[in-house]
Amino acid sequence: MTVRPEPEERSDNPVPRRSVKRVQTRRNGALSRALAGFVGLSLLLSTVAHAWGAPGHETVGAIAERLIAGRRAEAQVRKLLQPDETLQSISIWADCAKGYCGSLTEELREFVHKNPRHAHYHYTDVPFQAAAYEEGGIGTSDDDVVHILKQCIAVLKGATDHDANPHGLTAREALLLLVHLLGDVHQPLHVGTAYVSDKGEFVVPASAAAVDNVLIFNTAGDNDLIFESQSLHAFWDSRAVEDAMRHAGVRTPAEFAAFLMRAAPDLPIVTGDVTKWPAKWASETLGAAKLAHAGLSLEKREAAENRSGETRRVWRVSAPSGYAQTASALTATQLTRAGYRLAAVLEAVWH
């Protein structure tokens, strides 16, 4: 059900890509001319940082770390981590599996080998206009962030059967994924994505089959929407977090965690059956995704080049004034929720 066949193209990178892909000069005729105007754009697209970048994920880990300190959950977590690891430090492990942190460790290589679709685990592509995350709905898949979170929780609770743990995750892998994906499921554009018609309008596809990338396009978590000089996805992953940290007057994820924990969190959805929480969080995040798309206008359609040198369509968007402030405030809320909920899951597993 996941529409985009190239998960590696999903912007989900905690590390700014400093090595700019050199635009090939051996192009011919019309394609060359067509691309000439997009070179600057393609360079920009290939240099941005992605995914609740490292600071966002690390903040989530740091909040949970403080909340479980001295609790049984902390002792159980410690058994699964190396002595020099913390929830904060392992929060980007799942992104490192995609090669964003340099060469893969032996453990990451093994994980990637066992999980060829691991890049899909970080998101789901529900139309942002949808009221709720629904099993089997447009943009969902069996390997999306909601399903993998459920599997991580089940594994940490001791499940070993194939239905509950289809990817054969170890308890350690389940914890490493859980910490990261708890952050991702709170990033508005990792849950609610824009679908755009060939007429350049936001649309809700009638069915998954209608998303043919001819008449209706999946913008892949808004990676194909360009806001200012980067993708809208990257804006929410990184710029919104940076702005929120600057407004808080903090420099590190640990400081940001302490800042966010000063206020009592607005925190529904941490009671009842823990395995049902991820779908409810995703539905709540759709509300945030609606805010993230409020007032956006699609402008002209352009072509950009992806890392494989293929062209893809992108749309420039303009946002209402105050959009960046709204984004940074919402980001602070979402990171706080993610951190508290991560702790709540760990407490629910090891109460």
Residue numbers of the site for Zn ion (CB under 5 A)? 12, 51, 122, 184
Positive or negative CA dihedral for 320, 322, 326, 327? positive
Task: Name residues whose C-beta falls within 8 Å of residue 38's C-beta, 6 or more positions apart in sequence.
Answer: 302, 303, 304, 305, 311
Q: Which is nearer to Zn ion, 51 or 54 (CB)?
A: 51
Q: Which is nearer to Zn ion, 12 or 74 (CB)?
A: 12
Q: How far is the CB of 12 from Zn ion (least distance, A)?
A: 4
Q: Which is nearer to Zn ion, 13 or 306 (CB)?
A: 13
Q: How far is the CB of 95 from Zn ion (least distance, A)?
A: 5
Q: How far is the CB of 140 from Zn ion (least distance, A)?
A: 17
Q: Which is nearer to Zn ion, 179 or 203 (CB)?
A: 179
Q: How far is the CB of 98 from Zn ion (least distance, A)?
A: 8
Q: How far is the CB of 197 from Zn ion (least distance, A)?
A: 28
The span from the CA of 270 to the CA of 216, in Å, is 36
Q: How far is the CB of 53 from Zn ion (least distance, A)?
A: 10
* Secondary structure of residue 160 in the 3-state scheme: coil
Sheet of 225-227: strands edge to edge?
Answer: 230-231, 225-227, 311-318, 297-305
Q: Which is nearer to Zn ion, 172 or 298 (CB)?
A: 172
CA-closest candidate to residue 64, choices 91, 97, 82, 85: 91
Which helix (H) or strand (E) segment is 285 a member of? helix 277-293
Q: Could you give the count of Cα atoms lying within 13 Å of 138 in the half-sphere of its Cβ? A: 24
Closest residue to Zn ion: CB criterion: 122
Q: How far is the CB of 243 from Zn ion (least distance, A)?
A: 20
Q: Which is nearer to Zn ion, 73 or 145 (CB)?
A: 145
Token pair, residue 30, equals 């019309």
Positive or negative CA dihedral for 261, 265, 269, 272? positive
| Terminal Cα-to-Cα distance of the chain (whole angstroms) | 36
Q: Which is nearer to Zn ion, 52 or 202 (CB)?
A: 52
The span from the CA of 62 to the CA of 335, in Å, is 11
Q: Which is nearer to Zn ion, 58 or 305 (CB)?
A: 58
The span from the CA of 150 to the CA of 277, in Å, is 8
Q: How far is the CB of 268 from Zn ion (least distance, A)?
A: 23
Q: Which is nearer to Zn ion, 51 or 148 (CB)?
A: 51
Q: How far is the CB of 160 from Zn ion (least distance, A)?
A: 26
